[in-house]
Amino acid sequence: MPKKLLIRAYPSTFSKVIDGLSNALKEWVSKVGFGSLLSFSLRAIPHEIGMNVIWWFDHLNYEMSFGKDRKIKIGEEDVNDILGLPRGKKEVEYKTEKKKMMKKCKNGGKSFQ
């Protein structure tokens, strides 16, 4: 098992970003289907737990593997139940709205009010 886990951001950073959103941005996040992320609050993950989850997850079969006969399938419904992320074949449209959204996000969400 690897001794070090390199991540791009800490859970506490994500929690702080969520806490710092304006009411208008929170409303928009809910409107586009990610409202359950607004209740996300995690300040730390014990290193050993994070390493074990990554080590045990079989990304080819979408399951947690704890040994030969000890496996737990992870499906869309599980991810939805645990993280609250939307599931199904809902495509995200970027085309013309992307530039508008990026502009709104860059000015601190003032355009949402």
Domain-by-domain residue ranges, the chain? Answer: 11-108
As a residue count, the chain comes to 113
Q: What is the pLDDT of residues 5-26, one digit of tens each?
A: 555 566 777 788 888 899 999 9
Spell out a b/e string for 70-84, using b for 16 or more CB atoms within 10 Å of the CB, else e. eeeebeeeeeeeeeb
Q: Percent of the chain having pLDDT more than 90?
A: 7
The pTM score is 0.36
Task: Return d(Cα 56, Cα 96) in angstroms, integer.
Answer: 41
* pLDDT of 100 higher than 80: no
